[in-house]
Amino acid sequence: MSNRSSSNEFLLLALADTRDLQLLHFSLFLGIYLAALLGNSLIIAAVACDHRLHTPMYFFLLNLSLLDLGFISTIVPKSIANSLRNTRSISYSGCTAQIFLFAFFISAEYPVLTLMAYDRFVAICRPLHYETLMDIRACVKMAAAAWSSGFLNAVLHTAKSFSIPLCQGNVVDQFFCEIPQILKLSCSDSYLREAGATVVSACLFFGCFVFIVLSYVQIFTAVLRIPSEQGRHKAFSMCLPHLAVVSLCVSTGLFAYLKPPSLSFPALDLVVAVLYTVVPPAVNPLIYSMRKKELKDALKK
């Protein structure tokens, strides 16, 4: 049997029950997408144009904004177009590209968040070595490693997902092509493939998560030793936006993929998918711009 479905397309059924629901989905997702597009584009422009922001912290923030833009642009425009045109279909090649790009951007985002935690660790716990450890060449190499890890992970997941025959129909019960939904359409037992893909991703994400936790344990230990209240406040202010973003990404992502089967039903899966795919790219620029005075000044300028 061919690896492709018989119609060479998939049907995205989530959010497509009634026309009123489609129009609500169109309006909501369009507003969120425009907010994410504006916020991340402003951060990219501000960091690129203002020489005061040419620091490792804002270099990694620029990478995060680029990933958020690519992440949300992979999923939302197709979903908006389907709602507007009252259709549910996505081509086989379009679904493949969506899964690859989705895995690429989300797999690269966690290492970038880890690098941002490392930057804060060095700035607070190793301030005398900061210029040496976080020079521009080192930052570029670390960012390139983060993007490369995302690319390799995406290639692996996409190859595994589409190397199996799909004969259980072509209905995807989600508003975008998602790997677990594609594996449900497999003719063969997909549990081993799903377990293998999950182990690979878990190693990457768990490693990033452990590194972030250990970094912040040492950061908070160092901050509490600062005698000046103003110094402690400044250190905490530098860390809080990153902690908020990490908490949002990790909590929603972990719940989406590690929740027990007893909690898996379409309505909850849909809400969780929106929370970890659509909301973070729109919220991240707001979180960072509210807490960073230099960034607010550059945005105003």
The partner residues of 12 in beta bridges, in order of sequence, read 172
Please compute the mean of the pLDDT values over residues 279-294 and round it to a whole number.
79
Give yes or no for a contact between 111 and 150, defined as CB atoms under 8 angstroms apart.
yes
Please compute the mean of the pLDDT values over residues 95-110 and round it to a whole number.
91
CA distances from 78 to 93, 94, 205, 233, 299 (A): 13, 9, 27, 43, 30
Query: Looking at residue 4, what is its pLDDT?
Result: 44
Architecture of domain 9-300: Up-down Bundle (1.20)
Query: Looking at residue 70, what is its pLDDT?
Result: 93
Q: Provide the pLDDT confidence category of residue 289 given band limits of 50, 70 and 90.
A: confident
Domain spans of the chain? 9-300
User: Which one of 10-19, 70-79, 179-188, 218-227 scores highest in mean pLDDT?
Assistant: 70-79
> pTM for the complete prediction?
0.86
Q: For residue 189, give the DSSP letter.
A: -
Residue whose structure tokens are 């998939």: 10
Q: Which two tokens stand for residue 11?
A: 């049907």
Please compute the mean of the pLDDT values over residues 26-44 and round it to a whole number.
91
Query: Looking at residue 1, what is its pLDDT?
Result: 37
CA dist., res. 193 & res. 201, Å (int) = 12
Sheet architecture: strand order including 171-172: 89-91, 9-12, 171-172
Q: Which of 6-10, 76-80, 98-102, 169-173 has the lowest mean pLDDT?
A: 6-10
CA dist., res. 278 & res. 257, Å (int) = 16
Query: Looking at residue 194, what is its pLDDT?
Result: 58
pLDDT tens-digit series, residues 114-131? 999 999 899 888 888 898
Please compute the mean of the pLDDT values over residues 72-89 and round it to a whole number.
87
**Residue 90 DSSP SS3:** strand
CA dist., res. 206 & res. 211, Å (int) = 8
Query: Looking at residue 262, what is its pLDDT?
Result: 62
DSSP β-ladder status, 171-172 and 9-12? parallel
List helix spans (H) across 259-292: 266-277, 279-291
Please compute the mean of the pLDDT values over residues 155-182 and round it to a whole number.
78
Please compute the mean of the pLDDT values over residues 81-101 and round it to a whole number.
86
Q: CB under 8 Å to 120, separation ≥6 — which residues?
A: 57, 215, 219, 238, 239, 242
